[in-house]
Amino acid sequence: MIAVLGAGGQLGSTFVHRMGDRCLGVTRDDLDLAQPGSIDTWVESVQPDLVINCAAYTAVDAAETDSDTARAVNAVAVGALAETTARRGIGFVTFSTDYVFDGEKPTGYVESDQPNPLNVYGETKHEGERLALDANPDALIVRTSWLISSTHRNFLTTMLGLLADGPVKVVDDQKGRPTFAEDLVTGTLAAIEGNVSGILHLTNQGETTWYGLAREIAELTNIDVDLIQPISSFDLDRPAARPTNSVLDSERQRLTGVDELPPQMEALAGICGEMTR
């Protein structure tokens, strides 16, 4: 049996929908990762064959002042999951982020590049990576970025809501790779089937900025692109710093036999088409 943690979230619910009866969907009501001390008892009682951890503290700005909770969920709990699964011979998969990097590299980041996070969220995710691999070297850590689906709050759904009310300002000096939940699940399941371990970058292909992505969304949903106005990160003035370049490339994907995820524009067109039917 495969346990999917974070089953109520954007990525976890996609795994549950795809896998159906093959998995056990686990929500915060079943296991609260903010209380890492309960993890060992939970694993002992459920005894899964594989744990896929999609749960995370993802409020990037809030983490700057709520660092204890972010660290408990993104680092301590991940380390505890890795330790208890390793001890029992259970497979373990967890997800990390492009925000472990500082954005100074002019080209895309690969798995062997040295993390240097700019914010608390990125720090806690990087700490979770280290704790996981220290405790369970066979664990799979999938770094991804800019997650999008049609079912949960994310940049796509937020942008469509905002544009319905009028002009929107969007940052144009942060670039990355949008990743679509359905494609990420496909790639992750392929990596699991191939017994891939360690860190693996999985994103859809094709980089853009948040501003560029917003314009693409508008065009695909027949919204006036002139409603979208570019703004700098400095002018937006958020509590947490973001990397200017968080494009994730991969030096391991082809070597591990995992197919590239589709181009982001192809995936975006498909999901926008579904939402506007």
Q: What is the pLDDT of residues 165-197, one digit of tens each?
A: 889 999 999 999 999 999 999 999 999 999 999
pLDDT band with cut points at 50, 70 and 90 for residue 94: very high
pLDDT band with cut points at 50, 70 and 90 for residue 159: very high
3-state secondary structure 227-274: HEEEECHHHHCCCCCCCCECCECCCCCCCCCCCCCCEHHHHHHHHHHH
Q: Token pair for residue 271?
A: 């999901």
Q: Token pair for residue 263?
A: 């181009």
Annotated catalytic residue within 57, 99, 121, 211: 121
Q: At 2, which amino acid appears?
A: I
Q: Give me the residues paired with residue 50 across strands.
A: 2, 91
Question: Which pLDDT belongs to residue 277?
Answer: 65
pLDDT band with cut points at 50, 70 and 90 for residue 114: very high
Per-residue pLDDT tens over the stretch 226-271: 999 999 999 888 999 999 999 999 999 888 889 999 999 999 999 8
> Average pLDDT, stretch 200-217?
95
- The answer to whether the CB of 124 falls within 8 A of the CB of 60 is no
The span from the CA of 57 to the CA of 265, in Å, is 28
Question: Which pLDDT belongs to residue 252?
Answer: 93
Q: How far is CA 98 from CA 24, 83, 199, 218, 243, in A?
A: 28, 24, 12, 25, 9
Question: Which pLDDT belongs to residue 274?
Answer: 79
Domains and CATH numbers, the chain: 2-152+179-205+249-257 (3.40.50.720)
Question: Which pLDDT belongs to residue 255?
Answer: 85
**Residue 142 pLDDT exceeds 90:** yes
Active site residue 109: no
Per-residue pLDDT tens over the stretch 14-56: 999 999 989 999 999 999 999 888 999 999 999 999 999 999 9
The span from the CA of 174 to the CA of 157, in Å, is 19
- The answer to whether the CB of 180 falls within 8 A of the CB of 146 is no
Question: Which pLDDT belongs to residue 36?
Answer: 85
The mean-pLDDT minimum among 8-12, 56-60, 145-149, 234-238 falls in 234-238
Q: Give this prediction's pTM.
A: 0.95
Q: What is the mean pLDDT of the chain?
A: 94
* DSSP result, 174-231: -EE--EEHHHHHHHHHHHHHTT--EEEE---B--EEHHHHHHHHHHHTT--GGGEEEE
Question: Which pLDDT belongs to residue 73?
Answer: 96
Share of the chain above pLDDT 90, in %: 87
Q: What is residue 169's three-state secondary structure?
A: strand
